[in-house]
Each structure stands twice: as structure tokens, then as C-alpha cells.
Structure 1
Amino acid sequence: MSLSCNIFSRKIINNDILIIHKSRINLSFYKYCNIDNLMTLKNNLYIVLNTLNVFGRIYISREGINAQISVLKKKYYIFKKSLKYLNVNFQKIHMNVSLDNTQSFWMLKIKIRNRIVSDGLVNFQYNNDNTGKCLKYFQVYKMLNNSRTIFVDMRNIYEYNIGRLKNAIHIPGHTFRLQLKNMLNTLEKYKNNKIVLYCTGGIRCEKATAWMKYHNFKHIYHIEGGIINYIRESKRNFLPIQFQGKLFVFDYRMMEKVSNHKLSLCHKCNNICDNYINCSYNRCHRLVIQCKYCYIKYHSYCSTRCMVKSFYTTVNVYK
């Protein structure tokens, strides 16, 4: 019987976590590598990580592993050692330690997928030996000060809207697969420039550089550990950070503050704001930027319409 699932309700899990909550580290990591027997790996991962009280979301596929997790601080090194023994390809994985270690996950989920990042590419086989050059944080610092270098943001538009590298180009497309389709035409005029791709943790950009090299772009780079690692290492080594605003993260916290710049507007009143909420109406649940005044005015809903609909749904339930 597969053990790779939670057998308790979310309410029970949340209560237990609040009782036993201890100092934690938020991590993300990925690795492009060949993985066989995915179900065995899934079950082994769950058994080991559940024993270590690791929470989070992990995707595995035949092309590798992609994870965002929360680890007890005192068990971090045990976790790293355990991961290496689970698969020979996990010997060297770059760990992105979060800027903010607020509680990010409440349970552990491990899923098998076709790809660790959905790309929609049919006639293209990712080649780990033919990617762009990987840059350390200090190399990024130097290239940011070179006007001939083009920095390209490969994240979703809702990530870009609240925080980004100064003067970065955003590739249009509300999914990664659409961005891959659009990026060749968007960047054609910069083909003779050095082009640095960046995303949150690096997983999109590593694959995107291989896609660009396949289409004869020569001077292609990506950032080791993505923008998270660039910010963290720059802070640790007292280098100026040219990322402005907030960093969107895919967990309970939603955002990490990097600078005091506010780059967006409230979707209702157009006041300067960079806080995201999910609409409280379950049939909507839309991700929107909303200021604290509109949050109070609309009671955490994205609109009057959703507020009214939610009210009548609740009334009908209790009739």
C-alpha cells in the first residue's frame, strides 16, 4: 500500500503543528536528472521526510525533482544527508534557503508529474549538457552594471508586478509554455547581446536557456539558485541588490519583502499597493492586489459581487 499521502484532516494537522511548532527553515530546490521507478521514490521520500517532520510540496518526474519545503532547523543537515541516499542523482543539489522563515506549509504532499515544470514542448528534448552558463551572485552584480547585458524575467506576470530587477524585460505569457513560445521573437533583436534569464529558484531558466541555445542564441546565462539565491548571497556579502519590491513565493506566505519599493496598484482603487490576496469567495478565489482599505471595505473579497454571492451561498447552506 502506498504511504505517500496524509491520513489526517487539514484541521487536525494545523492544530498539531501549532502545538509542536519549532524553529524552521524554508527551502526550495530542484534537479534535472533521469529518475526511474517514480512510485518507489515517491514512497521512500514520503517515509523519510514524514519521519523528519518535513512539510511542503514536491513534484517528481522522469526529468527530475522540484521541491518547496519547510524543515525543522535542528534536522536540516539530517534532511540533506537523507536526500542524498534516496537517489544517486541527488548528491549535488543546490538548496535555496528562504529570506523569510515564517511558517510556509502545513503538510507534506508529493506528486508524480510528466514534467517538473510544464513547458508544452513537443519536439524538444531537454539536454542538461547544453544549457546557458550558470552565474554566481557576484557575477550577476557585475553584469547588472553592464548596459549591454539584457536581463530577462521568466516568472509569471503576477510575480513580476510586485518585484523585479531594475530594467528587466518580461516575456509575455501567463504560463511558462506561452513564454517559451514568445521569447524567441521578443529577444531576437538582442541576439548579439549577453542575455541573462532569471526566475524565482532557477528551474524555469535552466530549461529556457537550453531552448534558446537550441535556437542558436549564443550568449545565454542563468542565475545559480534563481533570484532567491542572488538576493540572499548579495545580502550576506554586502553587495548592492538591484531587485526592487517583493518576491512572490508559492506557499502560505505568498510574498517576501526585499526592498521598500512598491511597484503596483490596488486593483479596486488604484492606490499604490503590493499586497496580494485570494478572494474569499470559494468559487472565485482570484489572486488580486488589494490595499488594506479595500480589504476592509470588501471584507477580503475581490469585489462587491463576490461578497454578495458568498453571503447568499452561506444563507442557502443554512436554510
Structure 2
Amino acid sequence: MLLYNRLSRPELEARLRSETFRRRTLSFYRYVNIDNPREMRDRLYIAWDRLKCYGRVYVANEGINAQMSVPEHNIEALLNHLDSVPELAGMRINWAVEDDGKSFLKLVIKVRKKIVADGLNERLFDVTNVGNRLSPLEFHQLVDKEDVVVVDMRNRYESEVGHFKNAICPDARTFRDEIKIVVDQLKDKKDRKVLLYCTGGVRCEKASAWLRHHGFKDVNQLHGGIISYAHVIKKEGLPSKFIGKNFVFDERLGERITDDVIGRCHQCGDPCDTHRNCANDKCHKLFIQCDKCFEKHHGCCCEDCVNTLEEIRR
């Protein structure tokens, strides 16, 4: 049995279109000791491939981080399988807020040194000394208080299309950069109540421990992240204090939380929150592009890429 995909993108897209059942998108993570990540990776691939699961999964000695698309009729089987693996039993599941069933085209499970690239040396601090985990409702009650500091622990391209109204959104392209920027940017606020949030919660685990290591006294994090917050707020009938879109790392590139459009097209500056990857595969830059500029620039991020794409198509 091949433990990796061999199909081309057009073949994968055709396979997805031919499916007669619905899919649901979910995500989960856990920091847990995995003695043999390679063996775990192969076991999971075999089990999840049989269930026709697609997604992107990272396995490391420190744990697992997964975003997946699962056929509705196989969800129970997947959850039962998770509970059958000691390291994954009782896993907290985040369900997508806005789901078209087309979040992933294939199953990719990779062994990594870390489940999130943070650039931190775990020997220098206690990674288990994390911040207080706040429920979505607790976070909702605190997030707009004058005496708290709210920090978006996601990258700039994520926060520019959606964030909590009064959050500090560092200008960082990677989590590795951001975690250092935040410590420096908040160095005079170590006695304040700090609220951290991210997409599903995984980045805040390391970030909160890193802040506590640097002397921050009252560190808190949104348990389950923006995804959990959106579900709970909708269920309770409360107005969302997160505005705009929640960026996601799959084919959807975002799920709408509120109707607010806070982003801007990177080419013309008009209001827009549609992320695209440059149509020139040699570039594939992620950027915000409105429909007008998509037509004008043929889905490319710049004129050089337009010219390159035209040369390829000749």
C-alpha cells in the first residue's frame, strides 16, 4: 500500500467532484509525547486513508496538529479511531464554521520536528506552564475591557482580514517572528491581563508559556481559538466581537464570521478580503485580490507573473 498521494491536482479535483456524499472539515491538536513519530504517521495514514479522509497533518515527538476533511458517514469511525490511540484519546475537535466540503483534496501526513514552527528552544522554559484557558464566553466578557491587552497570535495576512476589534495585530509573516515581536512589544505590560487568541488554540499554547517565562503575570488564552468562539457566540445569540473572516490553511482560505470586510485588495486598495494564490505556480504568492483585479491581472500578483504565465501558456 502506498502511504502517500500519487494523483495530480486535476485528478484530485475530479475525484472530489465525483463524490456523492458530503464532507465536514475539522481540526484538532495535542501536545503529547510521541516516541516514534514515523511509526505513528504510517499507522494514522493507513487508518485514515481507508476512511477517505483528506487533510494536512503534522506529527512530531511533541504531539500532533491536524486539519482534515472527513466524509460525514465516516465521522463516527474517525472519532472512534482517535479514541483507540492512547496518545489521541479524548481529543478536542474543532468543527469548521463555514464549510463547503472542499477544504482538502488529499491526505498528507508529515513528520516534523515541531507541530508548529516556533523557533523556540524548549530546554530554556517550561512548555507546560501555559496560560489560563478561557472559555469562549469568558473571553467574550473580557476582550473589550479597558484594562486588558488583547493579542492576535496569528500572522499579518491572517489578521488583516479578521480580528478582535481592539486587538494588537503584530506585523509578522511567521509565528516564529511573531512570538519574539510580542514579547518585545509588550515588555512594559507584564503586570497587565493579557488575552491571546489564534485560529484553533495551538499557537497560544506555546506563546502563553513563552510569555510566562518572560515574566508576564496574568496570561490567558482563548480555548479552542476563533473557531470555537464563533460557534459558541452564534449558539448563544451574542454579537461577535471578532469581525471579518477567519483565515484557514486549506483550499477555502477563510470562513466568514461577520459581514464586515476589513481587508484591502493588495493591487487597487478597494475593500476586499478574498485571499488567492498567484496563478503563476513558480510564484504562488498568497495575497488579497478583488474580482476586478483578478480579471485584469489574470489571477497574478504582479506584471512579471502575468508575463511569465502568458509565456507558459503559449
Partner of 2:302: 303
Conservation of the 8 A alpha-carbon contact between 2:60 and 2:112:
yes
Kindly indicate whether residue 227 of structure 2 is the aligned counterpart of residue 232 of structure 1: no
Q: Does 1:33 align with 2:32?
A: yes
Cα shift readout 1:98-136 (whole Å, capped 9, x = no counterpart)? 012211001101000000001111364564531001010
Equivalent in 89, 92, 109 of residue 91 of structure 1: 89
Encode CA deviations 1:275-311: one digit per residue, 9 max, x unaligned: 1111111222111211111111112112233212221
Instruction: Tell me the CA shift for residue 3 of structure 1.
Output: 4.2
Identity of aligned residues (%): 37
Equivalent residue number for residue 63 of structure 2: 64
> Matched residues in 2 for 1:97 and 1:123: separation?
30
Q: How does 1:208-287 map to 2 (within 5 A)?
A: 208-287=207-286
Q: Deviations over 1:132-179 (max 9, x none)?
A: 010101101111242111110010100011100001002342211111
Cα distance per residue 1:195-250 (max 9 Å; x no partner): 01111111111110011111121100111111111111111121221111111110
Q: Does 1:178 align with 2:177?
A: yes
1:101 maps to 2:99: yes
TM-score, length basis structure 1:
0.93
How far does residue 314 in structure 1 lie from its aligned partner after superposition? 3.0
CA distance in 1, matches of 2:233, 2:214: 32
The worse-fitting range, judged by mean Cα deviation, of 232-241 and 95-104 is 232-241
CA 243–127 in structure 1, closer or farther in 2 if over 3 Å, else same: same
Alignment partner, residue 188 of structure 1: 187
Instruction: Specify the code of the residue in structure 2 equivalent to 1:180.
Output: I
Q: Work out the CA distance in 2 between the residues paired with 1:173 and 1:299.
A: 28
Checking the alignment, whether the CA contact within 8 Å between 1:3 and 1:43 is kept in structure 2 is: no
> Which residue of the partner structure matches residue 44 of structure 1?
43
Gap regions ≥5 residues in structure 2: none
The equivalent residue for 2:141 is 142
Q: Larger deviation: 246-255 or 89-98?
A: 89-98
How far 1:74 moved relative to its partner? 2.1
Amino acid at match of 1:72: P
Query: When the two structures are aligned, how many residues end up with a matched partner?
Result: 313
Whether the aligned pair in 2 keeps the contact of 1:244 and 1:259 (CA below 8 Å) is yes
Distance 1:285 1:251, change over 3 A: same
1:121 aligns to 2:125 (yes or no): no
Contact 1:3–1:47 (CA<8 Å) still a contact in 2?
Answer: no
Please say if residues 28 and 67 of structure 1, whose CA atoms lie closer than 8 Å, have aligned partners that are also in contact. Answer: yes
- When structure 1 is superposed on structure 2, of 184-193 and 116-125 the one drifting more is 116-125
d(CA) in 1 for partners of 2:19, 2:181? 47
Q: Which amino acid aligns with 2:96?
A: S
